[in-house]
Copies of this chain bind each other. A is one copy, B any other.
Amino acid sequence: MVRKAVTSGDVARHANVSQSAVSRAFTAGASVAPATRARILESADTLGYRPNALARAMISGRSRLIALVSPNFDNYFYAPATRILSRKLQERGYSNLLFVAEPDDTDEIVQRIMQYRVEGIVMEAATLSSNQADECANTGVPVVLFNRYNATLQASSVVSDNQEGGRLVADFLVNGGHKRIAFIAGDEKTSTSRDRETGFTTELEKHGVTLAARAVGHFTSQGAAEATRQLFGGDGKLPDAVFVASDHMAVTVMDVLRDELGLSVPDQISVVGHDDSEPAALAAYNLTTVTQSIEELAVATVDTLLERIDSDSVTPKSVVVPVKLNVRGSAKLPVRLSPACGLRQ
């Protein structure tokens, strides 16, 4: 039942012009007499003509297609990120080919991406093998890594200032008078988790504090629950604060602390997250966390990508977006010691 699509030739015949005139009528800034264009557009309208983007892409060499590669897991950060990235690209005249990637099928995905002759690639998470990166680089398709970076890759990257995030949390917790401070990592293979940790521990050391305990939560709820039990399930001297590498994990950490281990937050344990994703703002968690603007990350990503597409430049660019601490109620506030207290003065 697929009706044969209307072509520019059909419109040309109907409007009594050449086929190329029709093409021009649909090209912004082409030299067509207004009257002719009007007649053509009318014919096109009555016939229900839509230019064939595939044919256009073939001849012009510009597909106006961007591949968006997103990781296949539930995460309060990536969901809005994908949405906003897609939206921004759309607004700039590009359409998105969405690929939801498992770590082990990036290879097949790269194949498909290349087959559709995309003009650029946004990689939200899946780690490209150097092989795959080469493949993209060789064909000259610009790649921007969103929320990740990889020094060995010929790819641009846009990340939050994750080290600064960790630093801010370290200062905040130390000033809050915490003595035994712990960290729950995400996925140790990711730059995101590593940078947050580095910034965090480095700043702690500056204050003369060493990390009291550490566990890995793999950026998943289940992993976070286990990490929490590991750190707080014993009956020795418990940490009095924990920095969790993502909000997605942090809410589960709070659940386990309160409902399973009967500890109170922040009275007994202060919890700080990272991302400021949607559940962090829920009253039941009211999570103190590091805010990273998905909007800013997305804008920077799209700008970086389109710039590289337009300029044909190959030099990768790295953008770091600033973060700030969003103080809510899940961690003790820094005690501002007045001189009268006599302490530290």
Contacts and interface: CB of A to CB of B under 8 A. Distances in A.
Contacts of A256: 283
Contact of A114 (B50, B63, B112, B139): B50
Nearest to A248: B278
B83 A95 contact: no
A68 interface: yes
Contact of A278 (B74, B83, B140): B74
Given A90-B100, A99-B90, A258-B283, A116 B54 contact: yes
A138 B97 CA distance: 25
A127 interface: no
Interface in A275-293: 278-279, 282-285
A306 B251 CA distance: 39
A313 B2 CA distance: 9
Nearest to A87: B100
A97 B65 CA distance: 9
A255 to B, nearest CB: 4
A102 to B, nearest CB: 9
A52 B115 contact: yes
Contacts of A139: 2-3, 5, 48
Given A3-B140, A87-B72, A282-B251, A51 B115 contact: yes
* Closest 9 A/B residue pairs (Cβ): A79-B79, A255-B283, A284-B284, A98-B98, A53-B115, A2-B140, A259-B283, A50-B114, A87-B100
Interface of A: 1-3, 5, 48, 50-55, 57-58, 61, 63, 68, 70, 72, 74, 79-80, 82-83, 86-87, 90, 95-100, 111-112, 114-117, 135, 138-141, 251-252, 254-256, 258-260, 278-279, 282-285, 312-314
26 contacts: A1-B312, A1-B313, A2-B139, A2-B312, A3-B139, A5-B139, A50-B114, A51-B115, A52-B115, A52-B117, A53-B112, A53-B115, A55-B58, A72-B87, A79-B80, A82-B98, A86-B98, A86-B99, A87-B100, A96-B98, A254-B284, A259-B283, A260-B283, A279-B282, A284-B284, A284-B285
